[in-house]
Amino acid sequence: MDTERFAAESADTRSMNVTSTPFNYLEYPTDIVLLVVLWRLRYKLSLRDLAEMFLQRGWVFTHEAVRDWEARFAPLLADQLRAKRRGQAGTSWHVDETYVKVHGKWCYLYRAIDRDGNLVDSRLSEKRDMEAAKRFFMQALEVCGQAPERVTTDGHDSYPRAIRETLGSHVIHRCNPYLNNRLEQDHRGIKQRYYPMRGFGSFASASRFCQAFEEVRQFFRFRTTMNQSVPLAGQRRFFRQRLDTLRRMSLTV
């Protein structure tokens, strides 16, 4: 398994990687901490699951250490991946919100993908209103570099004005929930990952996790178009390449 190889290479040295990054100020090698954060974001593993799995490999740390590493390094990782994909989204966006439970209350995760299924952006909001929609579009515009040609939504009242005032009146707005089915299906990614966590304890932790999860999920997405068929060998090769890229990126965080 490639992730086992990834960890084993670090285990050989049993020493901290010397870098000029925040990872350098830890008692564990950069590769190990990076792998813990990656597994926490990518797989349905609890804090205690991760501590136990690495204990089996000879690395001793607590579940609270996992929590701390996620809080410290997931945002840095998300920022790196976000910067890497800047300007790559398509010109046709599908926008919708899904529910995320935070401290017993429902919040709204605004999400957008392009026509090929690639991530445009995501943003967690405590409210579903005009201001929240505007903030989401402004954030999406920042990462995309330019406004889309068209935006498809489910027809919520706040979208027409928010699109017009943030993206421009020239942007075509389509209101059709059936055209947004692809995004409804795509919501499953974050929903399936966070359900085992039974919600988040705070808005800050929820926002941090959701954004990092979305960026990592997009980074490891092996399809370039919707419903593209990719052989298993190709998927494995792509995963190895992405893992190596992520490892190199961690040295410059």
Enclosing H/E stretch for 80: helix 63-84
Structure tokens at 184: 């409804």
Distance CA 216, CA 212 (A): 6
Q: What's the pLDDT at 227?
A: 81
**Alpha carbons within 13 A on the beta-carbon side of 20:** 1
pTM assigned to the model: 0.87
Domain ranges of the chain: 2-84+226-250, 92-210
Q: Is 162 exposed, middle or buried (0-12, 13-18, 19+ CB in 10 A)?
A: buried
Tens of pLDDT along the chain (253 residues) come to 455 555 555 444 444 444 556 666 688 999 999 999 999 999 999 999 999 999 999 999 999 999 999 999 999 999 999 999 999 999 999 999 999 999 999 999 999 999 999 999 999 999 999 999 999 999 999 999 999 999 999 888 999 999 999 999 999 999 877 777 888 888 999 988 988 887 899 999 999 999 999 999 999 999 888 888 999 999 999 999 999 999 988 776 6
What local confidence, expressed as pLDDT, does residue 18 receive? 45
Query: Which CATH number is 92-210's, of 3.40.50.10860, 3.10.20.30, 3.30.420.10, 3.40.50.300?
Result: 3.30.420.10
pLDDT at 4: 54
